[in-house]
C-alpha cells in the first residue's frame, strides 16, 4: 500500500477533491469514495463494460483507469445522464423497448450508447452492434438494447449526448 495522493475531478458537474492510493481504480473512487454506485463492476479484465462512464465526453471503462489519471477531468456517470423526472433519450428508450432485464450491465451499456450517439446521430444497426461490442449483457441477447439505441437516435436527432 502506498501513500494517498490528492486528485481533483469533476463528476456529473460537481467538483471533488479526493485523497486516493495511486493504484485506486476510477470505478472504486466513484463507487466507494463518492457513493455513485450506479457504475458497476462485472469483470477483472475490461471485457464486460459494466463500468463504462464518460471521461471528457468519451466512453471509457472506469475499471481500466486509475482515479489519479482522471485528474482535472470531467466524468459523467449514469447518475449524471438523466434524472427520474428528466430521463435522457437513451434511458427513456431502454425503458420503452425493454432494453434491460437484471439491469446490471445497463448503466455501462447506456453510457456506451450515449457515447455512440454523440458521435454518430444516425447509426445503422451494424454500427450500433459494433459500438456496443465492448459491453456484455447476459439477459437480453442485445435485441432490445440495439432497438433502444436506434429508437433513441430517432427521438433525439443529432444533438444527443451525455448531459454533463
Contact status: 31 vs other proteins (CB under 8 A): yes
Contacts of 84 (CB under 8 A, 6+ apart): none
Taking phi over 0 as left and psi of -120 to 50 as alpha, with beta for the rest, 85 belongs to alpha
- Identity of the residue, 73 or 149, whose beta carbon is nearer to other proteins in the bound complex: 149
Contact 95, 89 (CB under 8 A): no
C-alpha pair distances (Å), 14 with each of 11, 17, 68, 87, 148: 5, 10, 17, 19, 29
Q: How far apart are CA 64 and CA 45, in angstroms?
A: 8
- Identity of the residue, 72 or 144, whose beta carbon is nearer to other proteins in the bound complex: 144
For the chain, the residue count is 164
Contact status: 38 vs other proteins (CB under 8 A): yes
Can you tell me whether residue 18 is helix, strand or coil? Answer: strand
Query: Contact with other proteins (CB under 8 A): which of 89, 91, 160, 161?
Result: 91
- Identity of the residue, 70 or 91, whose beta carbon is nearer to other proteins in the bound complex: 91
Query: Contact with other proteins (CB under 8 A): which of 41, 69, 121, 164?
Result: 41
Query: Contact with other proteins (CB under 8 A): which of 64, 139, 163, 164?
Result: 139
Q: Number of residues interacting with other proteins: please give it, by CB under 8 A.
A: 62
- Site residues (vs other proteins, CB under 8 A): 1, 21, 23-24, 28, 31-32, 36-45, 47-48, 50, 77-79, 81-84, 87, 91, 94-96, 98, 100-107, 110, 125, 128-130, 132-147
Amino acid at each position: 500500500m502506498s501513500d494517498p495522493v490528492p486528485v481533483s475531478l469533476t463528476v456529473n458537474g460537481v467538483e471533488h477533491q479526493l485523497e486516493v492510493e495511486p493504484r485506486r481504480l476510477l470505478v472504486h473512487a466513484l463507487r466507494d469514495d463518492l457513493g455513485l454506485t450506479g457504475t458497476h463492476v462485472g469483470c477483472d479484465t475490461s471485457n464486460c463494460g459494466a463500468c463504462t462512464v464518460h471521461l471528457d465526453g468519451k466512453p471509457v471503462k472506469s475499471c481500466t483507469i486509475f482515479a489519479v489519471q482522471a485528474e482535472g477531468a470531467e466524468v459523467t456517470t449514469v447518475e449524471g445522464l438523466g434524472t427520474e423526472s428528466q430521463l435522457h433519450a437513451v434511458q427513456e428508450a431502454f425503458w420503452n423497448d425493454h432494453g434491460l432485464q437484471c439491469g446490471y450491465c445497463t448503466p455501462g451499456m447506456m453510457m456506451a450508447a450515449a457515447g455512440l450517439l454523440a458521435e454518430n446521430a444516425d447509426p445503422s444497426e451494424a454500427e450500433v452492434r459494433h459500438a456496443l461490442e465492448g459491453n456484455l449483457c447476459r439477459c437480453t441477447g442485445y435485441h432490445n438494447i440495439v432497438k433502444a439505441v436506434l429508437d433513441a437516435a430517432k427521438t433525439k436527432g443529432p444533438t444527443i449526448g451525455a448531459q454533463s
